[in-house]
Amino acid sequence: MFRRAFWFTTGAAAGVWATTKVHQKLRKLQPDSLAAQAADKAVETGHRLRQFALDVRAGMADREEQLNDALGLRPTGEVAELPAPRSHAALDTPYRTTRTPGRPGLTGPTGNEDH
């Protein structure tokens, strides 16, 4: 009799445990949960990429300083000057853009420009 009660209780506990695990997995596979998991992973990846970019930038600055010191391009204590501002002519496009007939919103060289 005690043996039957033991196995009955063991089976009931195993059934409850299995049912709980199945419901947890089903909740994780719902669309809302999947969207939240994807968003969390995207944010985590963004943080990792940002940290990587900061590490690369710091390494580049260190290496540039090492090269400048090794080549004697900048004596210690001298502050580098900023370059002169660029003229606006360098930013202009080499061709005139016009609207393409019959296709609103599209711009670009059409072959009808005055050169």
- Domains of the chain, residue spans: 1-27+38-71
CB atoms within 10 A of CB 109: 14
Look at residue 93 and tell me whether its pLDDT is greater than 80.
no
* Amino acid (one-letter) located at 78: E
Instruction: Give the SS3 label for residue 113.
Output: coil
57-62 mean pLDDT? 96
pLDDT value at position 108?
55
- Asked whether the whole model's pTM tops 0.95, one would answer no
Q: How far apart are CA 5 and CA 10, in angstroms?
A: 8
Q: For the chain, give the number of residues.
A: 115
